[in-house]
Structure 1
Amino acid sequence: MTGVSAEIIESSDALAALEPGWWSLWRRSSTALPFQSPAWLIPWWRHFAPGALFTLAAWKTGRLVGLAPFYVEDGPLGRRLLPIGISLSDHLDVLADRDCAEEAMDALVAAAMSRDDAWDLWELEELLPDALAMSLTFPAGYVDDIAQQSPCPVLMIPDGVASYPAILSQKKRRNINLARNRCARRGTVSIERAQGDEALDALEHLFRLHAARWALRGEAGVLAPHQVRSFQRDAVPGLEAAGLLRIHTLAIGDRVVAVYYALSQNSRFSVYLTGFDPDFDFESPGVVLLAHVIGEAVAEGCREIDFLRGQEPYKYEWGAVDRWNLKRSIWRAGNA
């Protein structure tokens, strides 16, 4: 007997009620990232809720020790268990208390299998190679398929490096200095980290600049949908209160021309979204701001700069190399 039991959370109120225990578990889980925090996932569910809630929660002596936030999508691909946060979250995973991780994860799996009549395919998406979900053990009679899913370029900061410019190429350092000089010629440059109530103001600047950038391509961009903006407005205060948010602005004169939205935890810094004013394309304020943001992250002790999903060329100019997210799919044998 392990003393760990699990239940399936199927109502939004019950999910929200988990928040205090969820935060405590998140802090005790060895691989937890901001994308798995209640500050991120509870607002996501509140604004999207695209299916029937099917969140697995494991308990030990009244304490939450495991959590797998999922829902059931009933669509053309059948009834799929999909992770809360899908699409907008670059890294997903389950949570388990480091003191009883194996027992907690076994209980989560047992709960899901006890209701396998409710789903046909369990999709564990956007998993880092060391994600806890890669350690889940499934019983006989189920097919377990693992495949590469998304490339996430990552810049690793070597031990002993206190100032990141030392690891950049000479060409990149020259381009940063050129951009700084061009920005300075347009006016007084000021860079600020938005904190407290200012974080939401910076977010609105990000919406504006991101839309302007994508409009030049004749596209709307990921932040265009009303639901996405509402979700971000809901999530940002909680991320800021938890100390996970890093949102910086660069202004030339009194005009904000670049914004970087990032998430920081322990030694990992994740560059999530950016926006810059296309009227200042020649000056490259985004380059100047990102150089500042990465410099602050390294000074805070971050050893990994994660540029998240996508193989945009600019990421490799900073020295990033691909690390692939994985996808793990589970289904009953004979049910393909």
Structure 2
Amino acid sequence: MTSSKSSNFDGFSNIKLVNNLIFDNSNTRKNINYTNPFDYFDTKNIWYKHFGQEYEVCMFLLSDDKKNNNIIAPMKIKDNEISLLGSKSLFDYQDLLYSFDYDEKNLSNDIKKILYEIYNLKNIDNFMFESVSELSPLYNYFNENDDELWDYEVVFEDVCPKVSLPNSWESYLVNLKKKYRHELKRKIKRIHTSGTVNHYELSKKSEIMENLDYFIQLMKSSSVDKSKFMTQDNQAFFIDLIDNLKEKDNIVRLTFLEFDNTKVASSLSFVMNNTRYLYNSGYDPKFSDLSVGLINHAYAIKLSIKQNIKFFDFMRGNERYKYHLGSVDSKLYTINGKRK
């Protein structure tokens, strides 16, 4: 196993270059399974640029090319505590990075090796791994094993509601609970009889950046909490993230719902691995009587079905509308540990 450490952004850029060098000359890069947008090094790098100045970066690489088993563990250190590189407020999922088709027999033991390396960092007393999915190998390790070096607890953190998408919009509607199906049909009919409705998606680089301010304004206007969340720092992170991810395999999608030629709702999503990840959304409360926020999400689901996307992940939060649209919870956990 190898590790690299840095205490500033330039240093992290160097680590990124080192990892790119490793990736370009081995099977590591092409074998890593980037399951969601928060796994990308670009995303982690941008987060560090905006919020990581107080942290030291520590990155572990466990590589076994013979078995095609690789784990990359990007982490940050502050006040004798190590955590995954990113933050709960901006990263809906956090995890180690694993290669495709990881040998299950070795996975638990290899995670144990990572924890052993963390233990060897003498300035570390605790770890805190936030936003770990119940589907993560990291969660499975702590849920199924006792660790010789660490006392730990696995604590429920939040939910990420998801919809498994069928092959047609009609099948999707049939799968909804009767009450929610009738409500959705009624709301769609009402908005269409009230004016001209247009729903569309932007995926081109220039179009997304030209319209991002509309999305941000709709997000801020939709609730007090979202307005408080979208601080100047968070807004700068959003713009920087979208500007850097937009070239990655066409994953960034910006949708708008227009009513009588006015943008009344919008959502920002990432599409990858047959999944649409809804990162954030907003709507104009002046049009709330037309349920524009809900309809924007429903039409995003309809569009996803048309694009043969298999899952719609609303990500963090248990807002009621997500369940009205057919979501089922997937759980997130925080794993806290301290030296024995």
TM-score scaled by length of structure 1: 0.83
1:67 to 64, 72, 76: 72
SS of structure 1 residue aligned to 2:298: helix
Report the counterpart of residue 248 of structure 1 in structure 2: 255
Report the counterpart of residue 305 of structure 1 in structure 2: 312
The equivalences for 1:180-199 within 5 A come to: 180-195=188-203, 196-199=205-208
The structural deviation recorded for 1:170 is 3.5
Q: Structure 1 pair 238/22, CA: closer, same or farther in 2 (3 Å)? A: farther
The structural deviation recorded for 1:64 is 10
The equivalences for 1:171-320 within 5 A come to: 171-195=179-203, 196-215=205-224, 220-223=227-230, 225-242=231-248, 243-320=250-327
Rounded Cα–Cα distance in structure 2 between residues aligned with 1:100 and 1:174: 44
Rounded Cα–Cα distance in structure 2 between residues aligned with 1:158 and 1:298: 7
Q: Structure 1 pair 238/163, CA: closer, same or farther in 2 (3 Å)? A: farther
C-alpha contact (below 8 Å) 1:67/1:108 kept by paired residues: no
Q: Structure 1 pair 166/293, CA: closer, same or farther in 2 (3 Å)? A: same
Deviations 1:7-35, CA, capped at 9 Å, x for gaps = 13322222432357679856533472221
2:128 to 120, 123, 132: 123
Report the counterpart of residue 34 of structure 1 in structure 2: 37
Rounded Cα–Cα distance in structure 2 between residues aligned with 1:99 and 1:327: 25
Deviations 1:271-326, CA, capped at 9 Å, x for gaps = 22110011111112222221111122233333332221211111111122222112
**Richer in helix (by share):** 2
SS of structure 2 residue aligned to 1:260: strand
Report the counterpart of residue 14 of structure 1 in structure 2: 14
Rounded Cα–Cα distance in structure 1 between residues aligned with 2:193 and 2:102: 58
Rounded Cα–Cα distance in structure 2 between residues aligned with 1:139 and 1:171: 48
Rounded Cα–Cα distance in structure 2 between residues aligned with 1:254 and 1:107: 57
The structural deviation recorded for 1:227 is 1.4
C-alpha contact (below 8 Å) 1:162/1:299 kept by paired residues: no
Q: Structure 1 pair 248/161, CA: closer, same or farther in 2 (3 Å)? A: closer
The CA RMSD over aligned residues, in Å, is 3.0
Runs of 5+ consecutive residues of structure 1 not aligned to the other structure: none
Task: Give 1:192's aligned amino acid.
Answer: Y
Report the counterpart of residue 58 of structure 2 in structure 1: 54
**Count of residues paired in the alignment:** 320
C-alpha contact (below 8 Å) 2:174/2:181 kept by paired residues: no
Task: Give 1:90's aligned amino acid.
Answer: D
Task: Give 1:328's aligned amino acid.
Answer: I
Rounded Cα–Cα distance in structure 2 between residues aligned with 1:162 and 1:113: 54
SS of structure 2 residue aligned to 1:108: helix
Q: Structure 1 pair 171/233, CA: closer, same or farther in 2 (3 Å)? A: same
Rounded Cα–Cα distance in structure 2 between residues aligned with 1:84 and 1:247: 26
Task: Give 2:320's aligned amino acid.
Answer: P
The equivalences for 1:35-114 within 5 A come to: 35-49=38-52, 50-59=54-63, 65-74=70-79, 79-87=80-88, 88-98=90-100, 102=107, 105=111, 108-114=114-120
C-alpha contact (below 8 Å) 1:144/1:328 kept by paired residues: yes
Task: Give 1:53's aligned amino acid.
Answer: V
Q: Structure 1 pair 143/191, CA: closer, same or farther in 2 (3 Å)? A: same
Q: Structure 1 pair 229/304, CA: closer, same or farther in 2 (3 Å)? A: same
Deviations 1:108-136, CA, capped at 9 Å, x for gaps = 33432321x12111112111112132355
Deviates more, 1:243-252 or 1:130-139: 130-139
Rounded Cα–Cα distance in structure 1 between residues aligned with 2:194 and 2:297: 19
Rounded Cα–Cα distance in structure 2 between residues aligned with 1:231 and 1:22: 26
SS of structure 1 residue aligned to 2:229: coil
Runs of 5+ consecutive residues of structure 2 not aligned to the other structure: none
**Percent of aligned pairs sharing the same letter:** 19
C-alpha contact (below 8 Å) 1:163/1:295 kept by paired residues: no
C-alpha contact (below 8 Å) 1:206/1:259 kept by paired residues: yes
